[in-house]
Amino acid sequence: MAANRKIELNIKVNNKDYKLFIASNKRLLDVLRDDLGLTGVKEGCAIGECGACTVIMNGKNVCSCMILAGQAEGAEIITIEGLEGPKGELHPLQEAFMETGAVQCGFCTPGMILSSLVLLKNNPSPTEEEIKEAISGNFCRCTGYKQIIEAVQLAAERMRGGGM
């Protein structure tokens, strides 16, 4: 079947170049989880509603369940595994999520942090409404979002202060 035809995929993930041969019907999500073992990328609904599979692709936060791997040819991808510094230093967003109690079950956390990161790259001083909008595609069933918003505010403040 044509769907199972193998294609070549050249992709940069967390600053590392990969040349993969994958089934053409694979989603970016499957490539990241199954081929590269990046299980910090979660699958929650497979229809682009919940945001658990969020990754950053060419600077934008996307649902990796909605992208065929072939569409990511030549793309630069960042997953939660790519946020730590060379010596394992955590990103200010990761620190802030821990400090404000923004993490409960943790399943939405990778996607939530990545959507927040895209926001802060484009808008270092977001308002509460802008934060809400930026994470509105990432469902969290545990926290009621309040402490997540506080985490983004705290990280923004520190990043503005030259934290990273």
Partner 1 sequence: MYKIINKSVKRIDAYEKVTGKAKYGADLNLTHQLYAKTVYSKYPHAKILKIDTREAERLEGVVAVITAEDVPGNNIMFGKFPVLAKDEVKYIGDGVAAVAAESREIVEKAVRLIKVEYQKLAGVFNIKEAIDKNNGKVHSEIEDNLIEHSHHLLRSGDIEKGFKEADVILERTYQTQFVDQAYIEPEAIIVIPDPYKVGVEIHGSIQNPYSIRTNVATVLGLKINQVKVVQSTIGGSFGGKDESVMLMAARSAIIAMKTGRPVKMVLTREESFLESSKRHASKAKYKIGAKRDGTIVAVENNVYTQGGAYNNKAMFVNWRASIHAAGPYAIPNIKTDIYGVYTNTVYGGAYRGFSAPQIVFANESLIDELAEELNISPQEIRIKNCLKPGDELGTGQILLPGKIPAPLEKMINNVCKKTDFESKRKKYIKERESFNPIKKGIGLSCTFRGAGLGGEGIDSASATVTIDIDGSILIQSGLVEMGQGMRTAHAQIVAEVLGVSLDRITFCNTDTSVTLDCGPTVASRGTLAGGNAMLIAARKLLDRLHKRAAIMLDCNIIDLVSENNFIFNRLDKSRKLTFKEVVEECLKGQGLSLSAQGWYTPGPEKLSSETGRGNAYPTYSYGASVIELNVDTQTGKINVEKIVAGYEIGRAINPQIVKGQFYGGILQGLGYALIEEVRNKDGYLETKNYDDFLIPSSFDMPEMEVTIYESDDPVGPFRAKSVGELGIELMAPAVANALYNATGKRIRELPLNLERVLLGKTLRK
Q: Which is nearer to partner 1, 20 or 23 (CB)?
A: 23
User: What is the nearest approach in angstroms of partner 1 to the Cβ of residue 80?
Assistant: 4
Q: Which is nearer to partner 1, 64 or 109 (CB)?
A: 109
The residue to which tokens 């909605």 are assigned = 66
Q: Which is nearer to partner 1, 74 or 92 (CB)?
A: 92
CA–CA separation, 127 and 153 (whole Å) = 8
User: What is the nearest approach in angstroms of partner 1 to the Cβ of residue 75?
Assistant: 19
Other Cβ atoms less than 10 A from the Cβ of 141: the count is 11
Other Cβ atoms less than 10 A from the Cβ of 25: the count is 15
Other Cβ atoms less than 10 A from the Cβ of 116: the count is 27
> Where are the strands (E) in 14-162, listed by range?
16-23, 54-57, 60-63, 76-78
Q: Which is nearer to partner 1, 15 or 74 (CB)?
A: 15
User: What is the nearest approach in angstroms of partner 1 to the Cβ of residue 64?
Assistant: 13
Instruction: Name the residues that contact partner 1, by CB under 8 A.
Output: 4, 33, 38-47, 49-50, 52, 79-81, 83-84, 90, 94, 97-101, 103-110, 113, 131-133, 135-149
Asked if 15 and 81 count as a contact pair (C-beta separation under 8 A), the reply is no
User: What is the nearest approach in angstroms of partner 1 to the Cβ of residue 7?
Assistant: 16
